[in-house]
Each structure stands twice: as structure tokens, then as C-alpha cells.
Amino acid sequence: MAKLDKNFLWGGALAANQFEGGYDQGGKGLSVHDVMTAGKHGKAREITETIEDDKFYPNHDGIDFYNRYKEDIALFGEMRLKCLRTSIAWTRIFPNGDETEPNEEGLQFYDNIIDELLKYNIEPVLTLSHFEMPLHLAREYGGFRNRKVVDYFVRFAETVFNRYKDKVKYWMTFNEINNQMDTSNPIFLWTNSGVTLAEDEDPEEVLYQVAHNELIASALAVSKGKEINPDFIIGNMISHVPIYPYSCNPNDIMEAEIANRLRFFFPDVQVRGYYPGYALKMFEKNGYDIKWQEGDDEILKNGTVEYIAFSYYMSTVVKHDEVTSVEDNVVNGGLPNSVKNPYIKESQWGWAIDPVGLRYTLNVLYNRYQLPLFIVENGFGTTDEFKEDGTIDDQERIDYLREHIKASIQAVDEDGVDLMGYTPWGIIDIVSFTTGEMKKRYGLIHVDRDNEGNGTLKRTKKNSFYWFNNVIKTNGEEL
């Protein structure tokens, strides 16, 4: 018997701001990403006030999918993808975010994309918001600090649900809604919620207010979506970097248990429909005054998700008596007291490579929530070299993907986890989120563009393209 269901959703994952380009085409407005410069490993991206002439903004052009989508989708079809997870740029539909009428040209663009995908039998899986808030909402309203932004988001969600209701079945609300728990890196609150912090503010208190508003926005979107089409399948999307205890010392175990609340806070609310006790206790102890409106309890209860989509790239470790600051541990999810795992290697960008951690994650999430799971991001960011014959032998990437797919199949076949699909991140090379680089490549298709924006944008299939094609063909039997 095949280990995976015949409808298993093999696919690829992308985000509008990282690959579409066309940042000022088709009536699109500026998003929070359009004022982010390129950084690199160890050098943070800068968020500028406006677009400055002497600075480079890699998301403006992405890989120019906006103008090349037919060629790219044909390649996805050739790869046999059964689904494509991508996002809708909010700024294509509501350029400033607070308009009452949507931008028809933006809606038409996604009609074209969806139709083109369906032509190749590729199921669209759409993220409503993948770090794409209109800049205007961030600057003039303070992003999700402001409850009005919840209404604007819901208007946007309703508009696209209505428009694509007969063509799209799978949706997710906010990408990696929980990565902003790491307040040590300002880009996370900015990209997720359009929020910047004043110097005298307690980042954690701001975060939980923002989180509340965003959880309400997510729940309202789920309820609206199900009203518009009861056959929609709507999930949340979290980043899951499991936190291991360093040892069997009970203090390390407890340290990890507490640290893991950073991972579970958002999904606990989105799945259960109410706040977990540990969060309420923490608000009380810290004197946090999180503003609720009447009816919020009901909204959360009625807007729970039907599946959990998550990204998995790495794991991390905490040790109770290690004294490291959050700032030293940005890569590990901004955790204090985290240490390197002596049993596993890291990528060039310092991301721990841990396939067993994926099986572990699938078990932990499934046991905690009992909902179908969907791995919507997993992949290996690294540089690529062309060989003399013009091919790209990306064996390291293949090895990474193979081991993670094996671990996922074990979770299904041996542990009984309900897994809907697997979509490797950056199925085609795109701009890196954290660093803005092009050379941190995840793609199975190479794009000729460098960190400074030079290159022909030519697409070349890597060895992993052919390998993944066969994985899909054999439904994961041949790895």
C-alpha cells in the first residue's frame, strides 16, 4: 500500500512580495516590503522612510514573475506540481489598504494566475497575507496596533474570497503569524504587522496587543470565508522551530517547556478559539493591559482554523543556566539561553539541519491539536554553481529535501499523523526574506539574478527539478 494518500498535495511555495516584482505595475500600492533594503548574513535589512534613490530594494523586481508568469507556471506544470502555495499582495487589491473599492487590475492579475495554474491542474493554495501589508496602513494607522486595520484586512479577505470562490479551495490567513514573537529583530513586527516600536515601549506588551488584533482579524476572515463558501478549507500558518531541552536535567526540560509557549501561543488561540492559561497569567503578572472589545470571545470561538500549515527549517536548544542574550540568538528564533546543538550541522546561514526535528514537530503538533497538518515551507537556502556543461548539480539541496520528506513519510506511515501535503519553499529562486539576498537560493529552478539586481533573469532547471518531478510521479515512493 502506498504510504501517502493519492491526493497528497505535492507542490511549491512562494510569496508575492518575494517573487512577483512589478511593485508599481497594475495599480499596485507600496507595501511594507517595498521600503526594505537588501542586507546579508550578519547585516540586517534596513527599513527606510521612503524609497531612496541610492538604495537597492530587491523586492521591487523580485524575479519578475509579474511579467513572466506563463513561462514560470509552465515550468511548475512540467515539474508535475499538484499545488502552488502563493500569496495575494494586499497592495494589488487595495493599494493603500483603506479604500472602499478594490483595484480591478489587481484582481484580474490573480484571475490570470489562478486560471493559468488550473490549466496545468495545479491547485492554488493562497495565503491572504504573507508580510504584505500596505505601507499606508503601517505608517498612517500603526499597522495592527490599530483595530481599524482589522476591518481593512477583513474587507480585503472578503473581496478575494468572493472573487475566487469558485476557483480556490485552500486558504491560510497570516503567514508565520508567530515569528513576530521575536521582538529582538525589528523586521518581524514590521513585516507581519506593520508595527515599529518606540524606544520607551515594552516590546512584549505591544506585541500582545498587536497579536490580539491580528488573531481577531484571522478569526473574522475564517468566519467570513466559510460564509462565502462552506467548502473552503481555511488554515492558519505558523513557523515552527522546535525548542529542545539541552539535557534531561529537569530544569532544562522546564526551560524548554516555557520557551515553547512562544511557538504555541498563536496556534493555541487559532485552533482552540480562546487564550491559553499561561498567556492570561503572564498578562496579569506583568500588568499588561490588552484591549479587548465586546464580542471578541465569540469572534475567536467562531473563527477557528481547520488545518495547521507550518514552515519547518530548523530546530533549536535551550539550557536553563546558559546566559546568552536574545540579540546573540537571532538565528535561533531570538531565544535567550539558547545553545548550539552538538549533534547536528548548520547551513552556511547558520540554520540547523535537523530532519528528525520535522518528524518530531509533526507529532507534537498533531498530538496537541488533532488537526490535519500541511508542511507549506521547508527547504535549503544555499549558493549554486553552474557546471561547465551548463547544469546545476545541487545535491546538497536534494539531500536536505529527501531527508525531510522521509521524516514526513515516517510521521504519516509510522506515527499516524494526518498530513495534507508538502510544498518546498522557494520552488524557484526568489529574494530571501530575512536578508534580501538572491544568493541564498532555495529554488529547484535557478534564476539568473544576483544580490545587486544584475542578471538576465533566465530560468534554468537544477538537478533537484528532475529529482522532485520523480518524487511526485512516484508519490514519494522513490526518493
Residues that bind ligand BG6 (CB under 6 A): 15, 18, 175-176, 239, 311, 377, 381, 425, 432-435, 440
How many other CB atoms sit within 10 Å of the CB of residue 184? Answer: 16
Q: Give 387-414 as a 3 state SS string.
A: CCCCCECCHHHHHHHHHHHHHHHHHHHC
Count Cα neighbours of 74 within 13 Å in the Cβ-side half-sphere. 6
Distance CA 87, CA 130 (A): 6
Minimum distance from residue 432 beta carbon to ligand BG6 (Å): 4
- Exactly one of 20, 116, 377, 437 is catalytic; which is it? 377
Tell me if 398 sits within 8 A of 405, measured CB to CB: no
Listed residue (94, 88, 155) closest to 125, CA to CA: 88
CA-based torsion, 198, 209, 92, 182: positive or negative = positive
**Helix, strand, or coil (residue 316):** strand
Residue 460: strand pairing partners: 446
Distance CA 406, CA 222 (A): 32
Tell me if 64 sits within 8 A of 16, measured CB to CB: no
Count Cα neighbours of 28 within 13 Å in the Cβ-side half-sphere. 28
Q: Is 140 a catalytic residue?
A: no
For ligand BG6, the closer CB: 90 or 425:
425
**Helix, strand, or coil (residue 307):** strand
Tell me if 263 sits within 8 A of 241, measured CB to CB: yes
Distance CA 59, CA 432 (A): 9
Q: Is 346 a catalytic residue?
A: no
Q: How far apart are the first and last CA of the chain?
A: 17
Minimum distance from residue 377 beta carbon to ligand BG6 (Å): 6
**Helix, strand, or coil (residue 47):** strand
In the sheet with 243-245, reading across from the earlier edge strand, the strands are 243-245, 316-318, 338-339
Please identify the residue of the shown chain whose CB is closest to the bound ligand BG6: 434
For ligand BG6, the closer CB: 20 or 377:
377
**Helix, strand, or coil (residue 264):** helix
Minimum distance from residue 240 beta carbon to ligand BG6 (Å): 11
Number of H helices, E strands in the chain: 15, 13
- Exactly one of 20, 176, 255, 437 is catalytic; which is it? 176
Distance CA 332, CA 357 (A): 14
**Helix, strand, or coil (residue 134):** strand
For residues 267, 272, 276, 280, the Cα torsion angle rounded to the nearest 10 degrees is: 100
Catalytic residues: 176, 377
